[in-house]
Amino acid sequence: SANALSQLQQNQILLTPQQQHYLNRVLRLQKGDRFIAMDGMGKCWLAQLEGEEAQILELLSVETELPISITLMIALPKGNGFDEVVRCCTELGVACIAPIMSDRTLLNPSPQKLERWRRIASEAAEQSERSFVPTILEPISFDAALSSFATQQKYICEGRGNYPHLKNCLHNQGEMSIVIATGPEGGWTEKEIDNAIKAGFQPVSLGRRILRAVTAPIVALSLISAACEV
Ligand code: SAM
């Protein structure tokens, strides 16, 4: 598959150098080979490689998206841990990732990081044959994030405190979106948990073991997608 088509003209796709590299060198396709092309906004086509261009053969109806929209609010982990979160959560079907600056967040990301995360999301969407590329928002403060998402199903993951397991809290009452928040290496502060509860977030557990800040969102996404996908 090749996401984010550069130009679509008269059933021809003009491929960018990156797309040509991906098709020729990574997927090892040759002239005449067919592949699925996606525009990253929900449309897919069967296409045939013709050198620097591709011929559109037919519009496809491919359903690889989850039936609900999941937003991950994640306190930025240190190092390059966020790259892995973006990659895995994109594969698992996340719709939107909101990087959060929490009280114990150590990382202050540069604008180049945001570009890098968006590129990783696009590549992971391609790899997992998704028809949408998830949105990666600009980092915002925890307090701003608490009031940014309008849905009844909002959860904050907390490993301490004996909270109910996420798998037992998910419900299907016509809600088409879920927000799930995971904390940094040092965890959420008590004040953050209190503020989240006041903002309508339900504290939940992901099991008895304490997961790394990078592992927790991947587990949360896996549980939600397993519960809502048939
Ligand atoms: N030092 C922190 C503590 O004592 O709570 C551990 C933080 S953990 C490495 C990073 C984040 O992952 C937590 O803030 C939480 O959001 C999530 N997390 C890890 N294990 C969890 C669990 N068993 N249940 C729910 N959330 C968990």
Q: Which sign does the torsion angle of CA 103, 108, 111, 116 carry?
A: negative
Calculate how far, in angstroms, residue 179's C-alpha sits from the geometric centre of ligand 1.
Answer: 17
Q: Between 64 and 96, whose confidence is greater? A: 96
Question: Angle at Cα 118 formed by Cα 188 and Cα 60, nearest 5°?
Answer: 120
Residue 39 CA: distances (Å) to CA of 45, 63, 89: 9, 14, 20
Instruction: Give the side-chain half-sphere CA count within 13 A for 126.
Output: 20
Cα 92 to ligand 1 centroid, rounded to whole Å? 20
Please say if the pLDDT value at position 201 is more than 90. yes
Q: What is the pLDDT of residue 32?
A: 95
Q: What is the pLDDT of residue 8?
A: 59
Could you tell which of 211, 212, 219, 224 is best to mutate to test the pocket of ligand 1, judged by most ligand atoms within 8 Å of the CB?
211
Query: Who has greater pLDDT, 41 or 148?
Result: 148
ipTM: 0.97
- Integer angstrom CA distances of residue 174 from 37, 68, 230: 32, 10, 16
User: Which atom of ligand 1 is least distant from the CA of 208?
Assistant: 23
Tokens of 217: 């969102």
Cβ–Cβ < 8 Å for 135, 95: yes
Which three-class secondary structure state does DSSP give residue 132? Answer: strand
> Which amino acid, residue 113?
K
Report whether pLDDT(64) > 90. Answer: no
pLDDT, tens digit, for every residue of 95-135? Answer: 999 999 999 987 778 889 999 999 999 999 988 888 889 99
Residues with Cβ within 6 A of ligand 1?
Answer: 157-160, 182-183, 185-188, 205-207, 209-213, 216
d(CA 16, CA 210): 44
Which pLDDT score, from 0 to 100, does residue 173 have?
63
Q: How confident is the model at residue 70 (pLDDT cuts 50, 70, 90)?
A: very high
Q: Say what the pLDDT of residue 4 is.
A: 42
Give the global pTM: 0.81
Give me the sign of the Cα torsion angle 167, 215, 176, 99. positive
Residue 72 has pLDDT above 50, yes or no: yes
Q: What's the mean per-residue pLDDT of the chain? A: 89
Residue-range domains of the chain with CATH: 7-60 (2.40.240.20), 69-228 (3.40.1280.10)
Asked if residues 178 and 48 have their Cβ atoms less than 8 Å apart, the reply is: no
For residues 207 and 215, what is the distance between their CA atoms, to the nearest angstrom? Answer: 12
pLDDT tens-digit readout, 12-44? 888 989 889 989 998 899 999 998 887 777 777
Q: What is the pLDDT of residues 45-60, one digit of tens each?
A: 889 999 899 999 988 7
User: Which residue puts its alpha carbon closest to atom 1 of ligand 1?
Assistant: 186
CA–CA dist 98, 95 (Å, integer): 10
Asked which of 12-21, 75-84, 165-174 is least confident by mean pLDDT, the reply is 165-174
Average pLDDT over residues 207-221: 97
Q: Check residue 174 and give its pLDDT.
A: 64
**Which has the higher per-residue pLDDT, 204 or 174?**
204
Q: Which residue has the tokens 């969407």?
A: 125
Tell me the three state secondary structure of residue 227: helix
Determine the average pLDDT of the residues in 184-199: 96
Q: Which of 199, 152, 146, 147 minimizes the C-alpha distance to 174?
A: 152
Whether the CB-CB separation of 115 and 150 falls below 8 Å is answered with no
Beta-ladder partners of 72? 97, 180
Give 115 Cα–ligand 1 centroid separation in angstroms. Answer: 27
Residue to mutate, 103, 157, 169, ligand 1, most ligand atoms under 8 Å from C-beta: 157
